[in-house]
Structure 1
Amino acid sequence: MTVCLTHHLQVLTIFNLLSTALLQIPEGTVLLSLILMLRAYSVQNFPEEFGRTYHAYRAGSYAFPNDELERERLDLQNEALVKLFGERLYFAPLSRRAPPVNILDVATGTGDWAIKMGDLFPETEVVATDLSPIQPRKVPPNVNFYVEDSSEPWDYSQPFDYIHTRVTSGCWASFKEQIADQAFQTLKPGGWFESQEYDAIIMSDDESLPLNGPLATWFREINEASELMGRPTSVAAHVREAYVQAGFVDVQERIFKMPMNGWPKDERLKELGRMWERNFLMGLSGFSFALFNRVYERTPAQIEVALVDVRRELIDTRIHAYIPIHVIIGRKPFPGERSVPRASFT
């Protein structure tokens, strides 16, 4: 009864807000305004499952949560990646003297990268899209966020100078067809596409990672479950080839190693590893619940019991594990231009 009453009060509150707003709108635009307000409510009415909230727009197409804990994790992840990249937000040869006119950030998450780019390029229009409207309201005036499913056909009124993706594993059925091909079509000739991605793959160079241990097993199961759900988490290793097949030239790739915890002796890498450890500790449950429940039919309690051993290995500094982070850049050629092989960038 309490749940029904609460829901009823929520509906009444929404109805009253809509009624008040509609009285202030010119008569000829009432229907359109009502539709827009209902749509705005619907995309923010996040469904709850496993004690977490998930995106409402195209519900179920993305397996990971969007609640406050996940937003904190995403911001931490972004901070760690920028530190790994030597405080660089991008690697494409963008000019500060002749800045890009417009930038598109696909699957922006909390919008942290887009906001920083808006500050860095104040004369540039930055458009950022995501399934979830979880971005802050106070942003630079040149940054705009939109709710969009970028796996569907893109429809922009003008081409972009630079398009960016970051950590979109699990977002796409086909990175090549849904993202690389559409980025190619949406860029101006000479424009750059950049992807900063990592797979759900864990590695070690000294055999300190138990290949059949809880941590390695978790990564294998995440990959298997995401494949069966049609949104694979193994994207990064195939992005360079997707760029080439889409038609980009000057395609270059650089691979960074992100330590899983504070095992490195180097102080900078040790700090990065501790940040990444916190990132994964915050994210493990959210990464696991929807995929393991839907694919393996495990209950949340069963999932959490198994994650105890995963966390134990994750924080074990005797295990020298890391995740490869791939950065790929490519340029849309000018008409008639031929591709020229390039070495990896610095």
Structure 2
Amino acid sequence: MLSYSSTRPSSGPHCEHRKCVLAGHLLPLVAVLQKAFVMTHYIPRSPFHLKSLRFVATSSSLRCTRPAVSRYTIRLMSSSSQQYEHILVSRPEPSVVLVTLNRPKALNALCSPLFKELNQALKEADRDDTVGAMVLTGSAKAFAAGADIKEMRDKEFADVYKNNFLADWGDIRHLRKPLIAAVSGYALGGGCELALMCDIILASPTAKFGQPEINLGVIPGGGGSQRLIHAIGKSRTMELVLSGRMFTAQEASDWGMVSRVVGDGEGEVVTEAVKIANEIASKSQVAVQAGKEVVNAGKCPLFSVICLRKANRDIKPMR
């Protein structure tokens, strides 16, 4: 996914590559961008000739570029159906990326190819300067019903250990930008763990969470037991992990795991998640990322959090 936005980047070693001219006819510009998008990612600070386009960006045209860019914003987004098999990627708002798990026949069971695609899409959005926040959702029936049992059933312990089977499951925690989970239907096992990896969880009344791995003779393998302790406390976590009992969206909200229960269906919870993501994206992104880091560091000893806050003390308020 590649976006061309009105945001001016700060000065740096890549200033010489700022060759995106939005004045003039757009069709020739798109052709050039497709051939050399890296060289055309930024809006220039000064007028220059772009001979290949036979355009001259005058100072007056550059002055009107910034306010008019919303009308001329160019987005070259890869088609989800062509690029990905197991997820859909869309842009419901200019600064928000929505990723939808798309294995309906398997209730969005989390296989390795799905996780690789998910990590790729989220990392691309995380690197995109025009994206301020991301939303992750599934379907009305299932956010994700767990890890793909068919993929795991023939694996021996040695295979899992040697190939680091769960390596892809840890990438989400390294995202700098906020990720909001919009949960409807089942979020069980790995699906519950995936929701817990997100920074904010919204749930529809139909959402059902749980760590039922005990029923298969195993334990949560994606960090669910540890994350649940931080979200709902040791006693409740112990009960749920050892019994495999599912719990409702309202219970999750009452316990503090879910930010809130929204509406009465899948569409409303996704709409609300996008709304919150768009609001977050309107804030200072430096402050948002620092805020996320400090809140997540709340799981660490207090002294570490104080040191982290001191490291971020030079952040300037957005004017």
Same fold (TM over 0.5): no
| Structure ranking higher on relative contact order (CA contacts 8 Å, 6+ apart) | 1
Query: Which one has the bigger helix percentage?
Result: 2
Which interval holds the TM-score relative to the shorter structure?
A: under 0.3
TM-score (norm 1): 0.26
